[in-house]
Structure 1
Amino acid sequence: MERIFEQYERYSYTEIQCATDEIQQNEHAKLKARMETLQRNLKHYEGEDIQNLSLRELQNLEQQLDSSLKRIRSKKNQLMVESISEL
């Protein structure tokens, strides 16, 4: 009976280990794909590797850059106003 329990425990542990490994591999693949997407987007934002983009993708990139620039200018103006008010 003890041998049966040991075999069951070993089998259960192996099943759990295989499932855990599979989950980790899936997570790794998702994270790798996300990282590649972020790196590609960063290159596009820096003006690199944009010759293969479609018109729609270029327009989307331009809109993203415009909105980012507006946020940056807004933050800069806010800091300037705060600095002036302190003086």
Structure 2
Amino acid sequence: MAEFAPRAFLRVYRLPPKLTNGYCFGGGVPITFMNVDWFEAAIDEGRGRLEAFIKSKRYYDATARFLVLADHPDLTFVIEPEVSRG
């Protein structure tokens, strides 16, 4: 039964264009991730369906990178910016 399928809690972050800001000697350098969404998803629906769902959201920008963090490792991944083929 689908309503009883194992689920994972997910958080979606828009990553900054630059993930580094100088050297990280002695304790690190903070960078800002923008939290854009959080929700539950069925684990067995897989990454492809989840990625398509995220790309349909209003906050999605094809030129940006997004980090999807889930309570289950199969649903943790990065959506890379789409490359223009012009």
Q: Give the TM-score band, short-chain normalised.
A: under 0.3
**Larger Cα-atom Rg:** 1
Normalised to the residue count of structure 1, the TM-score between the two structures is 0.18
Normalised to the residue count of structure 2, the TM-score between the two structures is 0.18
More helix by share: 1
More strand by share: 2
Q: Answer 1 or 2: higher relative contact order, Cα 8 Å, separation at least 6.
A: 2
